[in-house]
Structure 1
């Protein structure tokens, strides 16, 4: 999703039931989840959430795994003016398969809920908020560690923007974007300088294969013209939008997609230590 309304897969998924191990605090002025900090951290990850926000257990559990498996300090701040949707509001089946009259009340609620949010959380507001938080990290006790960012769906758009020369250069060592929301192409992927990894499901509704081909073509050209810029784009067979955070772990093929996407992010960041 972006300035457009989210697709059905943006607001659906499976709630993971394990218990996050970290803690919540007010950090640099924002409510933030902090994963257990490794004894000798190797870098810092700024985690930008999907539309379900910083309180979603799935996001916190994934942050914990990044911390444990990669040796990162991981922060999950609340960059949203408010959380537009809770896990109890997941209605994909109603949106996709409900009849017109059956789904109409939810669709009207959906529009009423998201239009104000998309204005309040527009790019011109959210990008500066993220950069202020990132700059505070760079001035913190971890100022000597490389800073990375990873985003999903709503947050995945910002991870791509943070790779642009005029936004994230000299701030981030690398970015990763999993199933980003609808992008403004070609502008969102032009003038890049921060190394960028992208992960997409083959069944993604937000970024089609045609859009991905445009992204790949532009970024490939950028690698040839911009010293230090690298990118990778990986496809996850059979995966839908949102899988890396809200995939059903009871399904073997989905769990594999979730694990592989986690591995992609960790390995990408370790490459730029």
Structure 2
């Protein structure tokens, strides 16, 4: 049975303003018109077509500003977002099978290829990763990637390991909810102990009283969740502006 934190939440109202295209052979949602700054958004398991995350991409493009790319890294599989609000349908989703199809060693080569493609086109490249995008953002920002990306931000990372935290080599931001079975208290403590020793700028944003996936699937009718989501979005925009635009962006 799929765990609640992986698939629960709310679908937001709104119409994304971007377009669909390709990058490094991956179907991609693209929004924005910057010729110098790009942001790679790596989605959670609801993938590149999910309305909520596309709306967030629109905000990053407008407020950074940047050209934002959210590719399909799940081999064309689209999870029906209607199951979010229907607990009776959660058993339709086979998390174990999904995890096997999208294991790190399976998807890492195409994630890396997309990042390299963006680096070849733009002066500055940032990464925003949600859930699944957490571990991959850290790997893209690792010291072994020789500055492939300029900064990363992640909200409620999943599959993130201590080894990936150990190798971070670029400015890094973490948006961490209080309640999270994936980004555990142990991993939170480890990140806050280790990252400050790595000689890179670090911003840790803690969100009291909210759960995993709050930044992409929070209940906008709930004041606590809505404010947490808005605060996370603002923090991520600020982080991208700081490290991708610098003084020119203010």
Same fold (TM over 0.5): yes
Deviation at 1:90, TM superposition (A): 2.3
Other-structure match for 1:208: 184
How far the C-alpha of 1:61 sits from its partner, in A, is 0.2
Cα-to-partner distance string for 1:4-60 (whole Å, 9 max, x where unaligned): x9631111111011000111123331111111x24x555110000001000100010
Task: Check whether the contact 1:196–1:230 (CA below 8 A) recurs between aligned residues.
Answer: yes
Q: Shift of residue 266 of structure 1?
A: 1.1
- Which runs of structure 2 are paired with 1:239-254 in the superposition (5 Å)? 239-254=210-225
Correspondence list, 1:45-64, <5 A: 45-64=39-58
SS of the residue 1:202 aligns to: strand
Is contact 1:189–1:219 with CA below 8 Å preserved after alignment? yes
The one of 126, 135, 154 aligned to 2:132: 154
Q: Distance in 2 between matches of 1:191 and 1:182?
A: 15
- Distance in 2 between the 1:120 and 1:93 partners? 24
SS in 2 for 1:180: coil
Counterparts of residues 1-273 of structure 1 (less than 5 Å): 7-35=3-31, 37-38=32-33, 40=34, 43-83=37-77, 85-90=79-84, 107=91, 109-110=92-93, 113-140=94-121, 143=122, 145-166=123-144, 168-184=145-161, 186-223=162-199, 229-273=200-244
Relative to structure 1, the CA distance from residue 136 to residue 261 in structure 2 (aligned partners, 3 Å threshold; closer, same or farther) is same
Give the unaligned 5+ runs of structure 1.
Answer: 95-104, 224-228
2:180 partner SS:
coil
Aligned length: 244
Larger radius of gyration: 1
Q: Distance in 1 between matches of 2:86 and 2:112?
A: 33
Determine if contact 1:81/1:117 at 8 Å carries over to the other structure: no
Structure 2 unaligned spans of 5+? 245-250
> Structure 2 CA distance, aligned partners of 1:161 and 1:13?
27
Alpha-carbon distance in structure 1 between the residues aligned to 2:225 and 2:231? 10
TM-aligned CA deviation for residue 210 of structure 1: 2.6
